[in-house]
Amino acid sequence: MNGGGYDAFDDRYAYKNSNTLRNKAGLRDADLLEAFELEMTALRAEEPLPAGRYGPAHYRAIHKHMFQDVYTWAGRYRTVRTSKDGNTFCYPEHIGRSMDKLFERLGAEAFTAAADLPQFAAAAADFLAELNAIHPFREGNGRSQLAFLHLLGTRGGHFLDLGKVRRSTMMPAMISSFHGDLVPLSAEISKLGKS
């Protein structure tokens, strides 16, 4: 959260001489910012997510909805280069084009009601892996991904229970997907759709 363990280069999002992200509350303590961010996004998560056409603009609207109380740049693509644990995310100058190309995939049959849960989970894992590699926002990518996944599932008739997400298994699955192994992430998504 508050920087989330990311490495950012020339990070104008953070306070000077700090890893704490500039925020609307003016909090400079990373732990306080994390608590504030969690509280504000939890409150926004209780509200309906913005409607849209399942494209990049819709995705940005979801991020803005969730983080509007915390960051002035909520819903806007990041403008700095970032990495985590030595893995570099999409350079900011390529985010817009990469997002446009990625979201074209959502027209595939696997994202319609004609697909069963395993087909949806496999396609969604591939989509999320690429979305995570792009990492379009400076903070809040994971929560935005899950919110959008929920909407995609609902659109395709797969009602995903995000209450079943376990960080202890989802995070390693996301990391594996970053390195090309989609099987664990597909399994995690499938678990969300089972009763």
Q: One-letter amino acid identity for 61?
A: A
pLDDT digit string (tens) for 69-124?
Answer: 999 999 999 999 999 888 899 999 999 999 999 999 999 999 999 999 999 999 99
Give residue-wise pLDDT tens across range 2-33.
Answer: 555 666 667 899 999 999 999 999 999 999 99
Query: What is the dotted CATH code of the domain comprising 7-193?
Result: 1.10.3290.10
- Average pLDDT of the chain is 94
Cβ 73 vs Cβ 12: under 8 Å: no
Contacts of 62 by beta carbon, 8 Å cutoff, 6+ apart: 49, 50, 52, 144, 147, 148, 151
Q: For the chain, what are the domain ranges?
A: 7-193
Q: Helix, strand, or coil here: 36?
A: helix
Contact assessment for residue 120 and residue 158, using Cβ atoms and an 8 Å cutoff: yes
Q: Global pTM?
A: 0.93
- Rounded Cα distance, 68 and 53, in Å: 21
Question: What DSSP assignment string belongs to 106-149?
Answer: GGSGGGSTTS-HHHHHHHHHHHHHHHHHH--SSS-HHHHHHHHH
- Cβ neighbors of 142 (< 8 A, separation 6 or more) are 132, 174
The pair phi, psi for residue 81, each rounded to 5°, is -80, 140
C-alpha angle with apex 18: 15 to 24, nearest 5 degrees? 35
Query: What is the predicted pLDDT for the residue at 1?
Result: 45
